[in-house]
Amino acid sequence: LSRVLLLAPVAIILGIGEAWRQRCQSGDTDQKLKVPIPWFMGGFIAASAIGSYIPAIGFAVPMLVKAAYLILGMAMAALGLNVNFSVIAKEGVRPMVSAVTCSFVILGLSWFIVRTWF
């Protein structure tokens, strides 16, 4: 869950960095930064907060968890079935390095938060 929770700040930080890079490349420093905001992650955080802090839905949580596992399994299967290895090979190493880097950033942030507050 910490990976999902920290995905939003990491995505925003990376979005700010990319918007900054694009603005510097274009040479237009007066242009506003257009940062992509991952709104769907707010749903993850809201669902987690509701499930954790609202006792009235406690009876439905086990059923919702089973449904979430089923839907997550279907989504992972769909992603796996649509992997095109020739596209990955064509794109090169950069996307893979980016994915690994993001994983380590999230791991580091998780470790820091756990060591600091828990």
Measure the CA–CA gap between 31 and 13, rounded to whole angstroms: 19
Whether the pTM exceeds 0.75: the reply is: no
pLDDT of residue 70: 94
pLDDT of residue 90: 85
Q: Could you tell me what percent of the chain has a pLDDT over 90? A: 15
pLDDT band at 73 (very low <50, low <70, confident <90, very high): very high
Residue 23 · residue 33 · CB < 8 Å: yes
* pLDDT at residue 71 greater than cutoff 80: yes
Q: Could you tell me what percent of the chain has a pLDDT over 70? A: 95
pLDDT of residue 33: 75
82 vs 112, more confident: 112
For helices 40-53 and 2-26, the axis angle rounded to 10 degrees is 160
Per-residue pLDDT, averaged over 50-69, amounts to 83
Residue 16 · residue 116 · CB < 8 Å: no
* pLDDT at residue 2 greater than cutoff 70: no
